[in-house]
Every structure is written in structure tokens, then in C-alpha cells.
Amino acid sequence: MSLEPHAAEAVIVETQAALDEKSKLKKHFGRFDMLFFLICTLVGVDTLGAVASNGPEGFTWLIVLAVLFFVPYALLTAELGAAFTDEGGCYVWTKLAWGRFVASINSVLYWLSNPVWMGGLLCITAVTTFNTFFGDLGNVGQYLFSLAFIWFGVWAAILSFGVGKWIPTLGAWARIALLSFFTFSVILYAINHGLHSPALSEFSPSYTLFIGLVPLLFFNFVGFELPSAAGDEMKDPQKDVPFTVIRAAVTSVVLYGVPILAIIMVLPAAQITGLGGFIDAMKTVFTVYGGSVASDGTATLTGFGEVLGKITAAAFILVLLSSGTTWLMGSDRSQAVAGYDGGGPRVLGTFSKKYGTPIVVNFLSGTVSTIVMILAFQLSGGDAEKYFNAVLNVVLLFTTVSYLAIFPALIKLRYSHGHVYRPYKVPFGMAGVWICGCLTTFWALFASLVGFFPGLGDGGLLNDDALPEGFSRGTFELVVFIPFAITLLIGIGFYIAGRNTRRQLAPAAPPVLPPNIQPVS
């Protein structure tokens, strides 16, 4: 008996370690689990204020990228996630497209940005929220609070998906409730106090703000591929991935765009800051339930307003926690797959027999987050906003650069692996594939360049006015390039460390035939 050539070519050679670890995985991930997971991944609240701080024009660019980036990105991920369903998601896609060496380095960039994000941005925002609504934690208190924040997230990532998936589910519902209640409160606030309605001309786009916002908006819009990191834990990825990706795209644009517009309408532009924009807006609009706003814009909550403020602040912290946890669940799995595939140290590719989760990478992520958190508080010198901006740019850069290998994989795999069964395909044939692949790659490249060089092409080669406040050009480039260079070296080191794992190949397994392919005698 023989197979049709295009079916036989679908055989993927795996390491023995991959077979050993995959035997520990359990199928817990259903369609609606994935939908809530994606909502939790895509709708981040930590940067709502940073986008809103750019005023009406920021909202304009949000809509532009939603159409020209978010939609083609969703279509791209729907095809890749339904066609290549192995555990590891984007690591597998980049390996098949560009080889294990590129995938190994890219996996480190993709993974490491998340514990840095959790220990830096999410912790700072959570602490600021607590201080605003519950009282100052103090020096020792902020460390204890942050440690609990980080390691609860790590613990949730360690639990099997059968249990741990409830954190993203709760986080998704908390987002929907929080953002819906906030929008309702904005309407009440408008009825009682009026709004700071911007003029139509303020929505006009400009290149200066465009290059400043692209990395931030790009960061907010990525995450469609994250559930595919648990491909072998999904019940039916070929059907569920396209279903959930398309629905999550629509939901996310609404949940993200409406609050940003509400912040712009409630707070004067001068009062919206990157770190506290959404927090300040919540406090201001909740004065309709009890409280007042001083002439300088400072809001004070009393009575029922104070109670609601604390409830929503707790929900906000839960949303932040679920964001970090969800990204750890996905990115840690991708890095663990690299470990058992020979693209990283074998120990990182160890999954728990009890939980079916990559415990070693989970603990490593928690350790990195803890180190970043300590540095965030120690190096900020009391100026949390400055460090917030610096860490934000580093995290954005790691993320955007990693997608330079992920997005064009759609085009490459259509040619090199066109034989693989695709239950969902990007519309309009190869023209649609090229459009989606090129558009998403363009945004990733542009966001990476302006991440490295803020102010690029704005009235000259570089405009230093685009730098975060308090940074010179030299200082900022050091903050960005040194961590990036170190991360690349770590990726190369991980690849070298996986050489013994790569040599131990598993016996070739027979190919899994798509429904429309039959064996030929």
C-alpha cells in the first residue's frame, strides 16, 4: 500500500522527547474555553490609558489598525491554527516555515516578553490601582502585593487546563462586566455633568502620532495565535480555532474601542496619563454614585460611589492578573515545546505528568517576573511613570520582532506545505494569502523599527521629541538594545543547548490523512 505523494509529505519527524512529553497532555480545551481565553488575551486594560492619552487622534489610529491589521491577522491565524494543530502553535509554524534555528530564537523573544510584561507593567498598574482605591500599600506592602500577584498567576498556569482555564474565563467575564459598567457610568456622568467633547478636527490623523502609537496598538491587538500553543490539548482545533478567532475579533474591537472613546470623552487630555488614564477615568465617572470632582480634576469618591469604586478596582486587578496568566499559559507552552523539540534546553520541555503543564518554564517565568518587579520598584526612583514607559517599549519590541517570523509563515507554508489539509482558508485564494501575510508583516516591521527608533522619519531622520519623557536618545537606545541583544544571545544559547535532543529522533509515525485523501493500493 502507498500513499498519495502530497499526503505522504505531511509526515513530520519528531524527537523522542516530543513523544514522551506529548503523552502527558490532556484534552481540556473546548470551543467556548478558547473564546474566553482569546477575549482575555486580546482585551488588555493595562494600556487603555496609554492609548487614550493620545486623545481623539489615538482613537482614529485604533480604528485604522483594526481594519488594516486586526482583520487580516485574524484570518491568517484562523488558517494556520486550523491547519497546523500541534502543541506549540507559532513555534511549530515558524519551524515548518523557516527551520528550527529561527524558531528557537523567535520563541525566546515571544516567551520572554511576557514575564517581563507581568513583572513590570501589570504589577505597576495593579499596585497603582490598589493605592488609588484602597489606600497606599507602602514600600513593603507593594512588594508583598506584587509577589502574590505574580505567583498566583504562575500557580494558575501550573494547574491543568481543566482547572487553570477558569482564570481566563473569569477574566473574560470580568472584562465584559467592568467595561460594560464603565461605559454605562460614562453615560450617566454625561447626563449629569456633560462631556469633554473633542472637535471633529481633533480626530484627524498625523504621522507624528502614528509612529508613536503603532507599537502600542500592535501590542494591544496581538494574541490570536496564543490558544494554538495548546493545540494538542484542544478537543477539535480544526473547527474551533476559526470559530473562536473570528468571534473574538469582533468582541475585542468593541470591548477595547468603546472604553478608550469613553476615557477621551470624560477626561480632559491634560489629565490622561499612560499609567493612570483608565484608573482616573473610572474614579471620575463613579462620582455619579457618590463623590465629587475638584476644579483641578481630582476625583473623590464617597458613600456608594466609594463602594462601587472598590468593587470595580478589584475587578480591574483581576483583569490584569488574568491577562498575565493567560499569556503565561500560552507562551510558556510554546517555549516548552521548543525545549522538547530540540530548540531549547531539554529541561524546559518537561511537562508535569499530573497536570500536563510545563512546570519548569512556569517557574522560570515567575522568577523572571519577580526580578523585573523588584527592578521596576528599585529603579523607578519613585517615578513609576518613567519606568512604565521604558519597560513598555522593551516589551513591545520583543513582541513585535517575534511576529516578523510568524506572519510571513502563512505565505511560505502555502507553498511548502500546500498539501496539508486546511479546513479553513484565507478568502480570495493566494491573493488573499499574500495580502494578509504582507499587511501583517508590514505592521510588525514598522512597529519594530519605530520601537527601536522613536520619531523615525518625523521631520527628519529621528525626532527626539518622540522619546519617552525623561530619556535622552542615547539612554533610551541602551534601554532597548541591551535587553534585546541579551535576549538574542539567550535564544542562540538555547538552540545550542538543544543539540542532544535534536539527535534523538522518534520512529516515523504514519501520516494522518485529511478527510478527502484516501490510501492508494
- pLDDT band at residue 384 using 50, 70 and 90 as cut-offs: low
Q: What is the mean pLDDT of residues 8-12?
A: 43
Segments forming the whole domain that contains residue 33: 5-503
Q: What is the mean pLDDT of residues 266-294?
A: 76
pLDDT reported for residue 458: 83
Is pLDDT above 50 for 93?
yes
- The domain that holds 46 is classified in CATH as 1.20.1740.10
**Of 65, 111, 71, whose CA–CA distance to 90 is shortest?**
111
pLDDT reported for residue 285: 85
- Residues 343/494, Cβ–Cβ less than 8 Å: yes
Least confident of 38-42, 291-295, 315-319: 291-295
Q: What is the mean pLDDT of residues 224-242?
A: 89
Task: Give the residue with greater pLDDT, 361 vs 284.
Answer: 361
**Rounded Cα gap, residues 51 and 488, in angstroms:** 29
State the amino acid at position 66 in one-letter form.
A
Task: Give the residue with greater pLDDT, 276 vs 399.
Answer: 399
Q: What is the mean pLDDT of residues 4-18?
A: 58
pLDDT in tens, 415-465: 999 999 999 999 999 999 999 999 999 999 999 998 889 888 887 788 888
Is pLDDT above 50 for 11?
no
Residue 187, C-beta contacts closer than 8 angstroms, at least 6 positions apart: none
- Quick check: is 511 in a domain? no
**Of 110, 143, 151, whose CA–CA distance to 124 is shortest?**
143
Task: Give the residue with greater pLDDT, 202 vs 320.
Answer: 320
- Using left for φ > 0, alpha for ψ between -120 and 50, and beta otherwise, residue 26 falls in beta
- pLDDT band at residue 224 using 50, 70 and 90 as cut-offs: very high
- pLDDT band at residue 269 using 50, 70 and 90 as cut-offs: low
Is pLDDT above 70 for 213?
yes
Residue 228, C-beta contacts closer than 8 angstroms, at least 6 positions apart: 77, 80, 81, 84, 85, 89, 90, 237, 241
* DSSP conformation letters of 317-377: HHHHHHHHHHHHHHHHHHHHHHHHTTSS-GGGGPPPTTT-S-HHHHHHHHHHHHHHHHHHH
- pLDDT band at residue 184 using 50, 70 and 90 as cut-offs: confident
Residue % of the chain over a pLDDT of 90: 41
Residue 262, C-beta contacts closer than 8 angstroms, at least 6 positions apart: 182, 183, 186, 281, 285
pLDDT reported for residue 436: 97
Query: What stretch of H or E contains 300?
Result: strand 299-301
The CB density around residue 141, as the number of other CB atoms within 10 Å, is 14
pLDDT reported for residue 383: 60
Report CA 261 to chain centroid distance, whole Å.
Answer: 21
* DSSP conformation letters of 175-227: HHHHHHHHHHHHHHHHHHH---PPPGGGG---HHHHHHHHHHHHHHH--TTGG
**Rounded Cα gap, residues 471 and 476, in angstroms:** 6
Task: Give the residue with greater pLDDT, 165 vs 158.
Answer: 158
Is pLDDT above 50 for 102?
yes
**Rounded Cα gap, residues 79 and 278, in angstroms:** 35
**Rounded Cα gap, residues 266 and 183, in angstroms:** 11
- Quick check: is 142 in a domain? yes
Is pLDDT above 70 for 81?
yes
The CB density around residue 123, as the number of other CB atoms within 10 Å, is 29
- Quick check: is 508 in a domain? no
Is pLDDT above 90 for 97?
yes
Is pLDDT above 60 for 510?
no
- Quick check: is 51 in a domain? yes
What is the count of structural domains for the chain? Answer: 1
Q: What is the mean pLDDT of residues 245-267?
A: 84
- pLDDT band at residue 12 using 50, 70 and 90 as cut-offs: low
- Quick check: is 516 in a domain? no
- Quick check: is 89 in a domain? yes
**Of 367, 444, 430, 440, whose CA–CA distance to 402 is shortest?**
444
- Quick check: is 517 in a domain? no
- Grid cell listed for 452: 527601536
- Quick check: is 518 in a domain? no
**Rounded Cα gap, residues 289 and 304, in angstroms:** 6
